[in-house]
Amino acid sequence: MPAVDAARDIVHRRFRFPADLRLGVADGVATSPDGLVLGVPAGRCDHTDPQSGVTARYDLGTWTSPVVPAGFDADEIVPSWTGDTPPGCWLRVELRGCAAGEPATAWYDLGHWAADETTVHRSSVPGQAGEDARVAVDSLRLTKAGVTGWQVRVTLFRRTGLAAGPVLRTVGAVASAGSPVGAQTAAAGAEPAAEAGGPVGPADRTGGPGAAVAVADGATAGAGARGRVLDVPRYSQRLHAGGETRWGGGGDSWCSPTCVSMVLDFWAAGPTPDRYAWVDPPGHRPVVVHAARHCYDHAYAGAGNWAFNTAYAGRHGVDAFVTRLRGLAEAERFVAAGIPLIVSAAFTRGQVPGLDYDTRGHLIVLAGFTVDGDPVVNDPYAPDDEAVRRTVPRAPFEAAWQGGSGGIAYVVRPGSVPLPPPPAQANW
């Protein structure tokens, strides 16, 4: 694994609604107390859901963000958002790279999202590769040099004739440079692990060099985190093997929704039993089946799409987004603030003592740290719930996280729980 670079360039920016409407360009959208909604539609279009083949006519409106400067040449941008879509509604999220305040790439489609499958089947959009960038399921990988910023455009769709419309609460992205060589996306190109017995994971990703930026040292960041372990409930994804096999196959492939379920229940924010009463037979833990179904990407055919997982979490009254962290020193700030993280790592058997399997990409809950700074994790790839809680050595785990995904983390917490103060180059 490459060495951890605690000075890597990473910047995160989000827009919140209704407050940030006027920062961008609104066309056919307005605000409500809940967020961004359709106003007088900007137009109509026919859309055919590629999964069902059903064509319907929709009213639509868009919101386009201002150019967000990164301050460095970015090589990857990962979006995330929160909102809701009643039946007959959905959202489309697009990204483009910018330079010197002007567009530098085409618009790329980063997902068609809906809360359920009644209108469209939630999906990424495969086959997008240009001379300037390409889409790797849930991220935009820039192949054009000199991209120093980004814009996001969200289109709200409502089936013509309906009254209730979609709501967008937040949208943003994390831009980064110098992703470690071999870093992977938890969703893109998922393949089985190198050897039988490990969780499903992704194909590799390659990044370029990045510029340095000062961050707090580990001793400062660790204040309040060392010796603190948050009481995150323990859920095993492997107990679902042989049960429900839709939505990515169950069992070995449900690490991401299992982690999201653990963290939602830590905050007492998970779905109530009436929302997963359709799970039949209920099996070990029907709430995990509910999460897998509603995180599932029908084009990618898996439940590991990063943005879809945080969008699912955001439907439960919490704030949720995807970002990148530069290492465990930054992660300690979240634990000190009482916030568990969901992190994406990749490793081979024996690389991280205590995690004795191979994976090309795996989501794990970071629940705390020992007094010596070793991570205490809830690893869903365990034979039962009790075995989910593990302590792993700091350096190998940090390398597997940074080298595996470039430091990807889901941040999920109630809005009433403050985020820790960010570093000067803010990545949250």
In CATH, what number is assigned to the domain containing residue 54? Answer: 2.60.120
Domain end residue (candidates: 144, 176, 208):
176
How far is the C-alpha of 335 from the C-alpha of 186, rounded, in Å?
A: 23
Is residue 200, in this structure, part of any structural domain at all? no
Residue 179: the pLDDT is 64
**Same domain, residue pair 147 and 255:** no
415: closest CA among 288, 258, 269, 271? 269
In a shared domain, residues 149 and 245: no
Say yes or no: 245 and 387 in one domain.
Answer: yes
Q: 167 and 37 share a domain? A: yes
Q: 158 with 232, same domain?
A: no
Same domain, 51 and 157: yes
pLDDT at residue 296, rounded to an integer = 97
Q: Within a domain: residue 355?
A: yes
The answer to whether 52 and 72 have CB atoms below 8 angstroms apart is: no
Instruction: Give residue 266's pLDDT.
Output: 98
Residue 120 lies in a domain: yes
Separation of alpha carbons 129 and 126, rounded Å:
9
Q: Residue 206's pLDDT is what? A: 24
The residue among 157, 176, 195 that closes a domain is 176
Q: How many domains does the structure of the chain reveal?
A: 2
Burial of residue 219, with CB atoms counted within 10 A of its CB: 0-12 exposed, 13-18 middle, 19 or more buried: exposed
Are 226 and 370 in contact by the 8 Å Cβ rule? The answer is yes
CATH number, domain at 365?
3.90.70.10
- Domain boundary, last residue among 160, 176, 192: 176
User: Which stretches of the chain drop beneath a pLDDT of 70?
Assistant: 1-3, 179-221
170 and 245 fall within a common domain: no
Query: Does residue 144 fall inside a structural domain?
Result: yes
Q: Has residue 406 been placed in a domain?
A: yes
**Residue 190, domain member (yes or no):** no
Q: How much is the pLDDT for 188?
A: 35
3 lies in some domain: no
Place of tokens 């370029």: 208
Contact predicate 218/201, CB 8 Å: no
369 vs 241: CA distance, rounded Å: 30
What local confidence, expressed as pLDDT, does residue 222 receive?
A: 75
Domain boundaries, position 84: 10-176
Same domain, 146 and 232: no
pLDDT in tens, 236-275: 999 998 778 789 877 889 999 999 999 999 999 999 999 9
Helix (H) or strand (E) holding 96: strand 89-99
Cα separation values, 142 from 108, 126, 169, 210, 284, Å = 11, 16, 27, 14, 42
Q: Are residues 17 and 129 in the same domain?
A: yes
- Inside any domain, residue 324: yes
Q: Return the H-helix or E-strand segment holding 89.
A: strand 89-99
Q: What is the pLDDT of residue 213?
A: 38
* Residue 225: per-residue pLDDT: 97
Using alpha carbons, select from 276, 399, 393 the residue that is nearest to residue 326.
399
Regarding whether 34 and 122 lie in a shared domain, the answer is: yes
* 282 and 165 in a common domain: no
| Statement to judge: residues 20 and 165 lie in one domain | yes
- How does DSSP classify residue 386? G
